[in-house]
Structure formats: C-alpha cells, structure tokens
C-alpha cells in the first residue's frame, strides 16, 4: 500500500537534547513538508522540499533542521535551540507542480520532559 509513515508515534525528549523524527513515503512524490500542530493554531509550516537535495524554510523554521538525501525520506531534527518543542508534528507529501494536494502521515507527538 502506498502512503506516508512517520516514526516514532510518541517521542519524549529531555531539555537540551536533539531528536530526529522520521518521515518516509512510497508515493513517488517529489515534494515533502513538515508541519507543527498546536491546539488552536492550525498547521504551521516548518520546512518543505520540492526536490532531492533542496529544501526551504517555512514560517517557523527556527530551532529545526532537515535533510533530503533521498526522494522518499525527509527527516526532521528538533534541536535544543527550539524553546518550546512540545507539539504534534506532521509530515506530508505531494506531486510537485500539482494543485497543492498534500497527503499527510499519522504524526509524531513530541513531549519535552
């Protein structure tokens, strides 16, 4: 079955630690995205990538980093510089140069202890 997988489902981080969230897709989509979801604030774009080895900052990129070495993978690292990382993180993908239809993964809930 084609789709987007995210792991882990739940992640706990101690203050000062970096953590990496995994996102893999087998939809053969060119574009991939990372969003952060907080209650009452909708989905906010962290980073996006339209092709391999290229990515752009979204609206709230500070304290996060990404890489796009393979078409199917777009991991997100939450660094210790992110002051309030507790949130629900969603990865999405889409066919590049389509009408922006994005398909979402199941999400990772990150909690800082």
Partner 1 sequence: QQQVKQSPQSLIVQKGGIPIINCAYENTAFDYFPWYQQFPGKGPALLIAIRPDVSEKKEGRFTISFNKSAKQFSLHIMDSQPGDSATYFCAAPPGGTSYGKLTFGQGTILTVHP
Q: Which chain residues interact with partner 1 by CB under 8 A?
A: 4, 6, 31, 33, 35, 40-45, 48, 50, 56, 58-59, 90, 92, 94, 96-107, 109
Question: CB-based contacts of 19: which residues, under 8 Å, 6+ apart?
Answer: 11, 13, 77, 78, 110
Closest separation in Å from C-beta 19 to partner 1: 19
Cα–Cα distances in angstroms (integers) from residue 16 to residues 13, 68, 79, in the given order: 8, 25, 8
Output 75 or 80, the one with its CB closest to partner 1.
Answer: 75
Q: Go through 1-39 and write b for each residue having 16 or more CB atoms within 10 A of its CB, e for each that does not.
A: eeebebeeeebebeeeeebebebbbeeebbbbbbbbeee
Smallest distance, Å, CB 67 to partner 1?
18
> Which residues are bridge partners to 78 per DSSP?
19, 64
Closest separation in Å from C-beta 83 to partner 1: 22
Cβ distance to partner 1 smaller for residue 52 or 79: 52
Q: How far is the CB of 17 from partner 1 (least distance, A)?
A: 24
Comparing CB distances to partner 1, the nearer of 17 and 53 is 53
């Amino acid at each position: 079955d084609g789709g987007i997988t995210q792991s882990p489902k739940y992640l706990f981080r101690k203050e000062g630690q970096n953590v990496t969230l995994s996102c893999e897709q087998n939809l053969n989509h060119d574009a991939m995205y990372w969003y952060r979801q907080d209650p009452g604030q909708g989905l906010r774009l962290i980073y996006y990538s339209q092709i391999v080895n290229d990515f752009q900052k979204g609206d709230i990129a500070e304290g996060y980093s990404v890489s796009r070495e393979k078409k199917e993978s777009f991991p997100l690292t939450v660094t210790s510089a992110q002051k309030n990382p507790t949130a629900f993180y969603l990865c999405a993908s889409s066919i590049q140069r389509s009408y922006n239809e994005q398909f979402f993964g199941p999400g990772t809930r990150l909690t800082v202890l």
